[in-house]
């Protein structure tokens, strides 16, 4: 590595690597790093590679005097396996003695890292030509050499495109229509955050003028740079949502029509330009940056290294792609998920450097040939490189159907945590992606789920900060009925069997688009049903609790129906504690505030080990005004093999609790 461009480490960080030898598979004690936030800020201001990243990661933390006094960072160094070259370094941040953040590194021998790393010469600011030159190399290589990235084009063009021209040093642009262009015309797409600051967009009023000329001087820096990059990569046409779809019209027919083709817009573009690191358009994509911001620092591990491996090591941030891209502002925007999953190639413009992602590889300016595994995120491949996503565009790929259902649930989990300007876009922002799954699954799309996988997909629950949507968006059995991150219980234990029967599912779309907004829907299901009751109401949070099953004395009156199952909150892993029978996860806050609560088992995971079979099902609250009708309020695990006995009542429920009863032990109910 060029010594002049090696990143800087403050004296506090350098001193950490002069500790005693780290034995294989052993972890040294924690070392003090910074004792307060002022010390960390001082090192970050000096551009210490490690401390600067810690400060950026902690920008959300409190900066008051109390927080500063209770703030500290620590470090540990470990040899994670028997290979002496594998040294793991982690920085832990604590506030009020509570862990807040971890910044992990691999300390790899500099000699082995250097061969894959780009060489940078002074001056230390990356120049605009260098950035575009690297982008051209990646794109050219992909188009000419990557068989996995090539496919037969659909010859489909968006309704509108921005045509960009360059004469000398002057750029000009205008709005044009795809119907007026050759069907083999190639174009790029842009993904960006809108931000809160108003910017120039296409409207009915300026449409005719934009067909003649788009005033580049009036555009946001990101739009202007995207046009320069388009020309720099050898193309003339660019698709930008706010310039190619008419804006500022509530309920716009143009928006409704165009939003249905987003999977085609991004799927047929040559490459997606992703403004990953930018929360709005105030800054351009081609920012200059100090090379030392991306060049990993070297540290002397002379007292840590083992054997003949040189002590000089490069500090490579683990999962840097995840930090720079997946956790960046653009990926907090819900619409971006279908945009980037459908795009065959992506140029991610992060704050410090640019990343290339296609079906064949992930690269960065630091590692232009290919990023090492240490740089990739644990969720990666999450975009273009995922073979499931690639096969959405190329039906010649052979992928098991089960993988598509798993991929869909994973997409929904990430998507549910992203933000929408308008909550009514919950389905539209995923509509294009759903349409792309249809030919692969040959299945029916129902309120964000798939009919043949519905038993599993019904079993979702919310994260801590989730809550029901304030306006109707979907039936309560759909994840789209809540705001906040959701998780699926799906397939945790392998092969499962259905112990309930879904009789029919009805969804009522607002328009003719079955993947768009809904105005109603219900699900009818037949299965075991049992009312449950807490033996005592726990203090504080009533959700995510573990329970033991108690026997309930049978009611003396057969007319009052089956006695409820009694659940007692389990206090914790104590030798005398009752067994853990049931774990409940909520779909709405405070589910035990419901006046009546019912359980219906849905699927069963058999096990050859006695007592380890599990059942999963729905937690339901009856709608008093509607016979046999319920709302979903949670999900549950049942850890015993005796679920049939627990759910086999000796008398039938009153008719108001069901639509139908088979005379034995199964009830038909409706969930809205």
- Mapping DSSP onto H, E and C, the string for 340-358 reads HHHCCEEEEECCCCEEEEE
Kindly report which listed range (148-157, 422-431, 454-463) carries the lowest average pLDDT score. Answer: 148-157
Q: For residue 546, name the pLDDT band (cuts at 50, 70, 90).
A: confident
Q: For residue 612, name the pLDDT band (cuts at 50, 70, 90).
A: low
Q: What is the pLDDT of residue 98?
A: 81
Q: For residue 348, name the pLDDT band (cuts at 50, 70, 90).
A: very high
Q: For residue 394, name the pLDDT band (cuts at 50, 70, 90).
A: low
Q: What is the pLDDT of residue 376?
A: 63
Average pLDDT rounded to a whole number, residues 450-469: 92
238 close to 194: Cβ distance less than 8 angstroms: no
Tell whether omega for the bond before 104 is within 30 degrees of 0, i.e. cis.
Answer: no
Helices and strands of the chain, counted as H and E runs: 18, 32
Q: For residue 307, name the pLDDT band (cuts at 50, 70, 90).
A: low
Q: For residue 466, name the pLDDT band (cuts at 50, 70, 90).
A: confident
Q: What is the pLDDT of residue 611?
A: 60
SS3 259: helix
Most confident of 61-70, 92-101, 293-302, 347-356: 347-356
The single residue listed with the structure tokens 């807040």 is 100
SS3 616: strand
The phi, psi pair for 455, rounded to 5°, reads: -55, -45
Angle, helix 49-57 to helix 37-45, in steps of 10 degrees: 120
Q: What is the pLDDT of residues 35-45, one digit of tens each?
A: 888 899 999 99
Q: What is the pLDDT of residue 60?
A: 52
Identify the residue with better confidence: 619 or 295.
619
Average pLDDT rounded to a whole number, residues 223-234: 95
Q: Of all residues in the chain, what percent carry a pLDDT higher than 70?
A: 80
Helix or strand run (H / E) with residue 184: none
Q: What is the pLDDT of residue 126?
A: 46
pTM, two decimals, is 0.85
Secondary structure (DSSP) of 62-104 = --SHHHHHTEEEEEEEEE-SS-TT-EEEEEEEEETTEEEEEEE
Q: What is the pLDDT of residues 579-588, one digit of tens each?
A: 677 888 889 8
Sign of CA dihedral 43, 45, 49, 52: positive
Secondary structure (DSSP) of 211-231 = HH---GGGS-HHHHHHHHHHH
Average pLDDT rounded to a whole number, residues 183-196: 93
Mean of all residue pLDDT scores within the chain: 83
Flag whether pLDDT at 300 surpasses 50.
yes
Q: What is the pLDDT of residue 316?
A: 87
Flag whether pLDDT at 552 surpasses 70.
no
Q: What is the pLDDT of residues 207-218, one digit of tens each?
A: 999 999 999 999
Tell me the residue ranges of DSSP E strands in 377-492.
Answer: 445-446, 449-450, 460-462, 467-468, 482-483, 486-488
Q: What is the pLDDT of residue 304?
A: 60
Q: What is the pLDDT of residue 149?
A: 85
Q: What is the pLDDT of residues 480-504, one digit of tens each?
A: 999 999 999 876 557 888 999 999 9
* Alpha carbon 375 to its chain's center: 18
Indicate the burial class of 59 (C-beta count within 10 angstroms; 0-12, 13-18, 19 or more). Answer: exposed
Q: What is the pLDDT of residues 72-102, one digit of tens each?
A: 898 888 776 556 667 888 899 888 778 888 8
Instruction: Residue 533: count other Cβ atoms within 10 Å of its Cβ.
Output: 14
Q: What is the pLDDT of residues 52-79, one digit of tens each?
A: 989 887 765 545 444 455 788 988 887 7
User: Distance (Å, rounded) from C-alpha 619 to C-alpha 534?
Assistant: 13
Sign of CA dihedral 462, 468, 471, 476: positive
Indicate the burial class of 488 (C-beta count within 10 angstroms; 0-12, 13-18, 19 or more). Answer: buried
Hey, where are the domains in the chain?
Answer: 3-115+296-317, 128-287+323-391, 444-672
Average pLDDT rounded to a whole number, residues 252-273: 90
Q: What is the pLDDT of residue 219?
A: 94
Kindly report which listed range (321-325, 364-368, 380-384, 418-422) carries the lowest average pLDDT score. Answer: 380-384
Residue 157 token pair? 């063009």
Q: What is the pLDDT of residue 472?
A: 95
Kindly report which listed range (117-131, 144-158, 397-411) carries the lowest average pLDDT score. Answer: 117-131
User: How far, in Å, are 77, 523, 640, 668, 670 from residue 660 at the CA level?
Assistant: 63, 14, 27, 5, 10
Q: What is the pLDDT of residue 527?
A: 94
User: Distance (Å, rounded) from C-alpha 384 to C-alpha 582?
Assistant: 40
Q: For residue 614, name the pLDDT band (cuts at 50, 70, 90).
A: confident
């Amino acid at each position: 590595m060029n010594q002049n461009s090696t990143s800087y480490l403050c004296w506090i960080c350098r001193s950490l690597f002069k500790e005693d030898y780290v034995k294989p598979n052993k972890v040294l004690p924690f070392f003090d790093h910074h004792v307060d936030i002022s010390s960390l800020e001082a090192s970050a201001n000096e551009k210490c590679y490690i401390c600067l990243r810690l400060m950026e990661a902690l920008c959300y933390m409190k900066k008051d005097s109390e927080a500063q006094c209770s703030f500290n960072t620590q470090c540990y160094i470990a040899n994670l396996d028997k290979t002496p070259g594998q040294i793991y370094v982690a920085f832990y941040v604590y506030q009020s003695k509570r862990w807040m953040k971890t910044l992990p590194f691999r300390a790899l021998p500099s000699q082995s890292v250097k061969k894959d790393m780009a060489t940078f010469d002074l001056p230390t600011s990356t120049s605009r030509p260098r950035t575009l030159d690297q982008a051209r190399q990646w794109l050219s290589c992909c188009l000419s050499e990557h068989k996995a990235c090539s496919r037969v084009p659909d010859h489909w063009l968006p309704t509108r495109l921005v045509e960009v021209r360059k004469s000398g040093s002057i750029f000009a642009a205008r709005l044009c229509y795809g119907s007026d262009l050759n069907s083999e015309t190639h174009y790029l797409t842009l993904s960006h955050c809108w931000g809160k600051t108003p910017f120039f967009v296409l409207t009915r009023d300026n449409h005719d003028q934009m067909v003649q000329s788009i005033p580049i001087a009036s555009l946001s820096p990101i739009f202007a740079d995207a046009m320069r990059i388009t020309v720099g990569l050898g193309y003339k046409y660019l698709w930008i949502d706010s310039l190619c779809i008419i804006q500022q019209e509530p309920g716009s027919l143009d928006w409704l029509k165009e939003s249905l083709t987003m999977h085609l817009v991004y799927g047929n573009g040559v490459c997606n330009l992703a403004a990953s690191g930018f929360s709005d358009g105030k800054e351009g994509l081609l920012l200059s940056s100090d090379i030392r911001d991306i060049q990993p620092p070297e540290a002397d591990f002379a007292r840590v290294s083992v054997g003949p491996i040189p002590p000089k090591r490069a500090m490579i941030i683990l999962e840097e792609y995840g930090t720079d891209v997946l956790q960046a502002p653009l990926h907090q925007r819900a619409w971006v998920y279908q945009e980037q999953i459908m795009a065959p190639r992506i140029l991610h413009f992060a704050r410090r450097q640019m990343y290339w992602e296609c079906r064949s590889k992930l690269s960065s300016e630091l590692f232009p040939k290919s990023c090492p595994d240490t740089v990739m995120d644990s969720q990666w491949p999450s975009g273009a490189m995922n073979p499931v996503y690639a096969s959405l565009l190329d039906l010649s790929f052979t992928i098991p159907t089960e993988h598509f259902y798993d991929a869909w649930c994973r997409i929904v989990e990430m998507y549910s945590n992203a933000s929408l300007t308008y909550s009514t876009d919950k389905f539209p922002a995923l509509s294009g992606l759903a349409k792309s799954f249809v030919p692969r699954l040959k299945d029916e799309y129902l309120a964000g789920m798939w009919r043949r996988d519905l038993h599993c997909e019904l079993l979702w629950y919310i994260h801590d900060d989730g809550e029901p949507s304030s306006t109707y968006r979907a039936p309560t059995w759909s994840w789209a009925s809540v705001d906040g991150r959701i998780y699926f219980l799906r397939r945790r234990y392998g092969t499962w069997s259905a112990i309930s029967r879904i009789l029919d599912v009805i969804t009522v779309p607002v328009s003719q688009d079955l993947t768009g907004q809904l105005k109603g829907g219900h699900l009818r299901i037949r299965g075991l049903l049992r009312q449950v009751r807490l033996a005592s109401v726990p203090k504080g949070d009533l959700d995510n609790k573990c329970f033991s099953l108690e026997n309930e004395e049978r009611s003396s009156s057969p007319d009052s129906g089956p006695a409820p199952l009694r659940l007692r909150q389990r206090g914790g892993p104590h030798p005398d504690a009752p067994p853990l029978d049931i774990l409940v996860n909520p779909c709405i806050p405070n589910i035990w505030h419901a006046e009546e609560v019912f359980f219906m088992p849905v699927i069963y995971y058999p096990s050859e080990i006695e007592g380890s079979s599990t059942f999963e099902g729905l937690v339901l609250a009856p709608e008093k005004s509607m016979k046999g009708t319920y709302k979903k309020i949670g999900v549950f695990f049942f850890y015993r093999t005796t679920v049939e006995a627990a759910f086999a009542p000796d008398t039938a429920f009153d008719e108001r609790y069901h639509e139908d009863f088979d005379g034995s032990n199964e009830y038909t109910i409706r969930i809205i």
